[in-house]
Amino acid sequence: MNLQEIKGSYDVIVSLGSACNPALQLRRHNLRTFSGPLDWSVSLSLSDVSRLLKNKFDGFMELQNMCLIDGSDYVLDEGINIESTKSYFVKDTHYNILSVHDFPIIPNQDWTTTYPSYKEKLNHRIDRFLEKIRTSQSVLFVRWAASYEQAVELQSVLSQIVKGQFNILILHPVEGSQGISTMNWRINRVCSVKVPNDPNNNETWDYVLNGVTLTT
């Protein structure tokens, strides 16, 4: 697909990472209607996300698979301030996904203190996400950074779990790139766009998301 073909109206638009930037930009463009389970996390490998989706989040962020990342007690700089509270970085070692905003640093308390409330909130987001992609007639998935092989894998997984029509928009960052152009990957339902390597660049997101709307 090219960028023109991705434009249009969707019942739901969701972020698949790799960090918080897609969710923040969807919100900035009034295209985000709920908090997804991957919105405030870091998932460097799309293959891990595909595995997570294939497993329908089974075992995701279970306490026995989570560990505190040393030196992680600082605010992640993602260009847009979403909260001022410093948070621990906590990694799910089973899926290699990092929680970066969910475990606030509370003096004299372990990071696990807030885990029960976090897990309850996460489970609610997972249930809502799975319901939305199962019941919506059209879905757009947005991802920052992926390889061709990972895009093929994701498309295959989503074909098995999404009931309606769906498209995948991948912003493929290239160091030194000054412009924006569609990459000719020739994967059904996938539009990959080469963009400058700056996930905080509003101009890039404005250009790519121009013409993408939510169904009213």
pLDDT digits (tens, 9 = 90+) for 36-64: 999 999 999 999 999 999 999 999 999 99
Q: What is the pTM of this model?
A: 0.93
Render pLDDT for 163-210 as a digit per residue (tens, 0 to 9).
999 999 999 999 998 899 999 999 999 999 999 999 999 999 999 999
Spatial distance between the Cα atoms of 196 and 172, rounded to a whole number of angstroms? 8
Render pLDDT for 135-174 as a digit per residue (tens, 0 to 9).
999 999 999 999 999 999 999 999 999 999 999 999 999 9
Other CB atoms within 10 A of residue 210 CB: 10
CA atoms within 13 A on the CB side of 178: 0
Is there a contact between 171 and 190 (Cβ–Cβ < 8 Å)?
Answer: no
Q: Where are the domains of the chain?
A: 3-214
Q: Quick one: pLDDT at residue 70?
A: 75
Spatial distance between the Cα atoms of 137 and 107, rounded to a whole number of angstroms? 47
Render pLDDT for 67-109 as a digit per residue (tens, 0 to 9).
999 755 444 444 434 445 789 999 999 999 999 999 999 999 9
Spatial distance between the Cα atoms of 199 and 214, rounded to a whole number of angstroms? 22
- Which of 121, 125, 98, 106 minimizes the C-alpha distance to 34? 125
